[in-house]
Chain A
Amino acid sequence: MAKNKKHIDDLFKDNLQGSQLPLDGSEWNRLFDELHPKKKKRFAWWWFGIGFLLVSALGLLYFTVNPTSTVSQTLVENGAALEENVNEKKENRSDKVEVEAEVETEGERVQNIENGGGTRTDVASKNSEQREKRKDKNSGGKSTEQAISKSTNAGGQSTVSKGNGTIPVKTQTPNTSGTARILLKRSDLISVLAKTAIDIPWRFNPYGAPLLTLDEQVDQRPTPFYITLDKMVDSLDIDKTFIEPYIGLSLGGSRLNQNLNSDILNYTTYRTRNESSGFLPNLGFDIGAGFKGMQIASGLKYLEKGQQNSPQFTYEIYDSVRRVDAHGDTTYPRYNYRDTTINNVPSPRYRYMSIPISIGKTFYEGDKFDLSAGINTNIQILIGGTGTILNDELSLMSVQRLSSFNRLSLTYGGYFSAGYAINDRMKLKLLVRYDADALDMMKHKDISQKMSGLGTDLSVQFKLKK
């Protein structure tokens, strides 16, 4: 056969210039999605936050609203009437009549008089003198709901005065030993009690509202939460009890190891083999409080994560890099420009601002020393980076390209600390902690890069209360 001489350039030019390669439909779909992006409905975290704040604000408002602001002169007058009754009860102790008062919601504001045992009958008032007094006081168009009175005669019969009339109420068969229960607003009672100067023991019940008792008996029914927050806080008497707030400064560092999980075999191999962990610093401001031997602390911290490459560090990347050629075949090219080593690769560093949160318990407390242990978490925001890492193509990628990394990071861990009280206000604390990333550092579907390791902090704490 005849030979045809052809320059190597022409062999490729004649065949490849203008040549076509087949495509599947996915290419257009991918392009279309980018050219005409759908507006994604993102979860409205802002609305969630606003809703939370709104609910919190409403809750605060509810608990801090002052019910005594609605006290009118009528109540005071009615309080005087009650005072008379109380005095009467004190005088008639021989009758063993007991008075109970409890916090009451407005809707249920009725009065009920009971006598122990027997059948219920409708009985008209026979203790007219005292009732008439109260009736007169309440007859000026004032709220009948708030006009509250109680009386018990010697025979145990009871009536109710409401507003401008006397309302017969159901009572049990009178006897000489009975219990009278008055249901009225706490604010009303406060007014009354202020006048009567009766020493009322305060009790804290599990439902949150203190019960007022005029005598020994207390109604144990669940009561609505109806007490002002300031009163509640006052009743805790913080200064004399257990909360010990402090502020502090801490300086420390961590030695971290990265946990790589990658579907890209070479990537995992190189990263694991070539990178060692290093000791990197952190600096923080702490604020916390002790609470019955428990400590809760938070603050703001600057910290660095990363890997420390030695000066002799090299990336040894060569022919083993897998290639998929133009026909979809997997090949391992013999000639690859990457068959070289790259020396003195700058170590990758990641800079974070962190909000640490820890909860711990003191398990030994001496005169000067104490020992504590607890759990901690960090909410971290990536703010910068330096150095280089390998990308998934085993090429070097600058860490400064923060878009390749997840900005938010979350860690979990635990700590052990030893404290030394320099004086009654200052404490020196040495802390050893373990931290582990809960979220991936890199934005890559095939690479999971997380760091974990031990760290230590030395902090100076200043108690805000002696």
Chain B
Amino acid sequence: MGKERNLASEQDIISACIDNDSRAQKMLFENYAPKMLGVCARYCSNMEDAKDALHEGFIKVFQRIENFKGTSTLETWMTRLMINTSIDHFKKSTKYLHFEDSEKVHEYGNDDTSYILNLEDDEEVRLSDLYKIIAQLPDGYRMVFNLYAIEGYSHNDIAKELKISTGTSKSQLARARMMLKKLVKEQLNIG
């Protein structure tokens, strides 16, 4: 029996994961999996797909962890991998992604003031309700909204990532916001 490695710090865990140490892999998984599942769930329309994306994402994490240089935090690096995996997973299972024509964007409006919500000061929004609402977005809307509003990507970055035009990205975002506002009002009674 070999001596068990000291896994006190994150760097120790990373080093052990590079050596394919299953105990370190389990620790890393247990530390980050719930948060990463939250990321995947935002991009996938159902929990089964989210778990599949999480599974694929962690396979990539353990395969590529030796490439992690430490220029960002491990969580940021993993989140980025999970987003890419979720998008890949989505592309793989969906050959024909339906993005509507960007010319019609004006129909939905692109004025930021259109998307302001009035919340009560003490109003609490349940996390599960928000996941449920975002899962109801069409896949194209959901991708663009997540990348733009939550991850902070620019429309140019989104266009490159999803291989669409910036106009399409903008129109998808506008439609997503419109739909979200409508769903929030209907289902959470926030308007």
**Is B132 in contact with A325, judged by CB distance below 8 angstroms?**
yes
Chain A residues closer than 8 Å to B93, beta-carbon distance: 391, 393, 395
- Alpha-carbon distance A34/B20, docked complex (angstroms): 12
Smallest CB separation, B97 vs chain A (Å): 7
**Is B22 in contact with A16, judged by CB distance below 8 angstroms?**
no
**Is A335 in contact with B138, judged by CB distance below 8 angstroms?**
yes
- Alpha-carbon distance A5/B29, docked complex (angstroms): 38
Chain B contact residues, majority secondary structure? helix
Chain B residues closer than 8 Å to A13, beta-carbon distance: 149-150
- Alpha-carbon distance A395/B115, docked complex (angstroms): 33
Chain B residues closer than 8 Å to A398, beta-carbon distance: 95
**B153 part of interface (Cβ distance < 8 Å):** no
Given contacts A5-B118, A35-B22, A326-B128, contact A27 B94 (CB under 8 A): no
**Is A28 in contact with B139, judged by CB distance below 8 angstroms?**
no
Smallest CB separation, A183 vs chain B (Å): 70
Bitwise, B108-147 to A at CB < 8 A (1) or not (0) is 0000100111111111010110111011111111000100
- Alpha-carbon distance A334/B145, docked complex (angstroms): 18
Given contacts A12-B180, A337-B98, contact A18 B35 (CB under 8 A): yes
Smallest CB separation, B186 vs chain A (Å): 10
**A340 part of interface (Cβ distance < 8 Å):** yes
Chain A residues closer than 8 Å to B48, beta-carbon distance: 324
**A342 part of interface (Cβ distance < 8 Å):** yes
- Alpha-carbon distance A141/B37, docked complex (angstroms): 93
Q: Which of B38, B118, B122 contacts A19 (CB 8 A)?
A: B38
Chain B residues closer than 8 Å to A395, beta-carbon distance: 93-95
B-to-A contact residues, CB < 8 Å: 20, 22, 25-26, 29-30, 33-35, 37-38, 41-42, 45-48, 50-51, 54-55, 58-59, 62, 93-98, 112, 115-123, 125, 127-128, 130-132, 134-141, 145, 148-150, 177, 179-181, 184, 190
Known pairs A7-B112, A12-B149 / 8 extra A-B pairs, C-beta < 8 Å: A4-B120, A6-B119, A13-B150, A17-B150, A21-B37, A21-B41, A21-B131, A333-B45
A-to-B contact residues, CB < 8 Å: 1-9, 11-13, 15-23, 27-28, 30-32, 34-36, 323-329, 331, 333-338, 340, 342, 388, 391, 393, 395-398
